[in-house]
């Protein structure tokens, strides 16, 4: 046999082995950026976020992929301070990322779930300042999904933490409440958050509480089935209309609407549906079912 033949065999074997491996690995970039969150009544609060590029945005990037994928994640710290990276309930050593450098890590799961990724440094301050996001691992990407990353903010706390002052969490009284960095009515324009669907359609909502307070989400009009829960306090497969989520807990809920109309969803703590004392400028959404 000549050399050319063997070379060809090696190339064919290499491609055959390599192809399926490449098909299941996806690569994503995420940047730690600092900036300001503008509240519904136009107050600016210092804020940190995980964004898809080096441009700051108040919405943390949702990392989604399927149970067939392995995610190769490149995290770049675009801030001037050192930050960390960790994933709750996932076997990963906490990482430190000095300013203007990157780390690379792999994430996968064989079951569908929502993981919370966050900055474990100066805990919980850096996470409170915005560095908490969602990793959503789906069975397939054709399912209809909405994403709610819940946070709350106290202007005085955010300003203190941004200037390296000490805060006492016993004295925490948040005055703004956001989903994906937005409050009502701006939230109505967030296509990833506002549930819009049809009667009989299977709709899934991935929720993570990356704030510091507990948030009890109440759905009007429907009961939702729990597909995944990071906490024993909410049973998988149970069907309910309200879901109390402690800080750093996550859920996947399934809703199959049996009637059309507009239905509200809100935090059951009435303070949390206000913003700067204005009602209903907080965690409040109107779902639309046709």
User: What does the binding site for Cu ion look like in residue numbers (CB under 5 A)?
Assistant: 218
Which residues are bridge partners to 285 per DSSP? 265
Residue 210 CB, shortest distance to Cu ion, in Å, is 22
Three-class secondary structure of residue 90 per DSSP? coil
Residue 170 CB, shortest distance to Cu ion, in Å, is 28
Q: Using alpha carbons, select from 36, 30, 86 the residue that is nearest to residue 61.
A: 30
Cβ proximity to Cu ion, 85 vs 263, nearer residue = 263
Measured CA to CA, the distance from residue 29 to residue 33 in angstroms comes to 13
Which residues are bridge partners to 178 per DSSP? 151
Tokens of 185: 């009515």
Residue 218 CB, shortest distance to Cu ion, in Å, is 4
Cβ proximity to Cu ion, 159 vs 218, nearer residue = 218
Residue of closest CB approach to Cu ion: 218
- HSE at residue 264, side-chain half, CA atoms within 13 A, is 10
Residue 215 CB, shortest distance to Cu ion, in Å, is 13
Measured CA to CA, the distance from residue 247 to residue 89 in angstroms comes to 13
Cβ proximity to Cu ion, 3 vs 259, nearer residue = 259
Measured CA to CA, the distance from residue 152 to residue 203 in angstroms comes to 26
Residue 267 CB, shortest distance to Cu ion, in Å, is 9
Residue 242 CB, shortest distance to Cu ion, in Å, is 7
Cβ proximity to Cu ion, 117 vs 219, nearer residue = 219
Cβ proximity to Cu ion, 98 vs 261, nearer residue = 261
Measured CA to CA, the distance from residue 104 to residue 112 in angstroms comes to 23
Cβ proximity to Cu ion, 218 vs 223, nearer residue = 218
Cβ proximity to Cu ion, 216 vs 226, nearer residue = 216
Tokens of 144: 């209809």
Q: Using alpha carbons, select from 35, 42, 37 the residue that is nearest to residue 276.
A: 42
Measured CA to CA, the distance from residue 177 to residue 47 in angstroms comes to 14
Tokens of 259: 């009637």
Relative to beta strand 25-38, strand 102-107 is unpaired
Residue 221 CB, shortest distance to Cu ion, in Å, is 10
Q: Taking a C-beta distance cutoff of 8 angstroms, is the pair 30, 52 a contact?
A: yes
Residue 234 CB, shortest distance to Cu ion, in Å, is 17
Cβ proximity to Cu ion, 28 vs 268, nearer residue = 268
Measured CA to CA, the distance from residue 162 to residue 122 in angstroms comes to 12
Cis peptide bond N-terminal to 188, omega within 30:
no
């Amino acid at each position: 046999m000549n050399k050319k033949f063997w070379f060809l065999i090696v190339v064919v074997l290499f491609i055959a082995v390599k192809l399926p491996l490449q098909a299941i690995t996806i690569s994503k970039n995420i940047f730690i950026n600092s900036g300001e969150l503008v509240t519904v009544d136009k107050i600016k609060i210092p804020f940190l976020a995980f964004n898809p590029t080096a441009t700051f945005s108040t919405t943390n990037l949702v990392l989604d992929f399927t149970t067939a994928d392995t995610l190769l994640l490149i995290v770049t710290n675009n801030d001037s301070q050192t930050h960390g990276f960790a994933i709750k309930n996932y076997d990963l050593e906490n990482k430190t990322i000095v300013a203007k450098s990157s780390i690379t890590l792999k994430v996968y799961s064989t079951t569908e779930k929502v993981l919370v990724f966050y900055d474990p440094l100066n805990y919980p301050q850096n996470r409170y300042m915005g560095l908490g996001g969602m990793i959503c691992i789906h069975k397939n990407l054709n399912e209809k999904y909405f994403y709610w990353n819940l946070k709350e903010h106290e202007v005085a706390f955010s300003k203190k933490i941004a200037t390296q002052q000490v805060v006492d969490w016993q004295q925490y009284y948040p005055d703004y409440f956001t989903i994906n960095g937005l409050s009502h009515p701006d939230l109505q324009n967030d296509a990833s958050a506002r549930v819009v669907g049809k009667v009989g359609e299977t709709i899934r909502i991935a929720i993570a509480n990356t704030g510091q307070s507990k948030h009890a989400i109440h759905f009007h009009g429907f009961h939702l089935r729990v597909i995944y829960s990071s906490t024993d306090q909410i049973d998988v497969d149970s069907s309910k209309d309200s879901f109390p989520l402690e800080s750093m807990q996550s859920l996947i809920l399934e809703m199959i609407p049996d009637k059309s109309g507009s239905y509200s969803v809100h935090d059951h703590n009435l303070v949390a549906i206000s913003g700067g004392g204005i009602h209903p400028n907080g965690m409040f959404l109107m779902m639309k079912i046709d």
